[in-house]
Structure 1
Amino acid sequence: MGEWKEVLLWCWIVNYGVLLLWFVVLTAFRERLYNLHGRWFPLSRESFDQMHYMSMAIYKVIVIVFFLVPWIVLEFVIR
């Protein structure tokens, strides 16, 4: 079970890294990303921001539920 704890912890760390990278790229290159996506989809700036904010929130919840919570449970079970 110790291996599972390590795998879950690393999955959580990597996924939070992805989330942080997503935030940094979106913050630094928001206008470029909006223009790029605007070529493909008719989006207002508000809907573009809302789409990314909601996607980040959903991603964060999924990462917590599927990686962090099981890791915490295994921490308590193994002790």
Structure 2
Amino acid sequence: MITITQLTALLGWASVINIAYLFIATLMLITMRGPIISIHQKMMGLDEKELAVSYFKFLSGYKIVTLVFMVAPYIALKIMGY
């Protein structure tokens, strides 16, 4: 059985990992936009505008899920004193 203290630590580290991934994915899309778009155009047959929208939806969705399911519960447990 997992204790509340262990759950708090788990959510904290999961938050750090997810935020780091989000940061790296964003940096890669900003700095390596051309090669990434080229690869995805060949794989999926989408044009550049559709890919830009897809990237934005992915990053925004990932950020929301990370905040709702990782960061918010972690903050709530820390406020409670765990």
TM-score by shorter chain over 0.5: yes
Over residues 18-74 of structure 1, what are the superposed CA-to-partner deviations in whole Å (9 max), with x where a residue is unaligned?
001101111111110111111122212111111001110000000011111111111
What residue number does 1:38 align with?
41
CA distance in 1, matches of 2:43, 2:79: 48
Identity rate, percent: 19
CA distance in 1, matches of 2:36, 2:79: 43
CA distance in 2, matches of 1:39, 1:13: 33
What residue number does 1:71 align with?
74
Note the residue ranges of structure 2 that are not aligned, 5 or more in a row: none
State the TM-score, normalized to the length of structure 2.
Answer: 0.87
**Counterpart check, 1:49 vs 2:68:** no
Q: 1:27 aligns with which of 24, 27, 30?
A: 30
CA distance in 2, matches of 1:11, 1:36: 29
How well do the aligned residues superpose, as a CA RMSD in angstroms?
Answer: 1.3
State the TM-score, normalized to the length of structure 1.
Answer: 0.90
CA distance in 2, matches of 1:23, 1:56: 7
Following superposition, the deviation at residue 77 of structure 1 comes to: 2.3
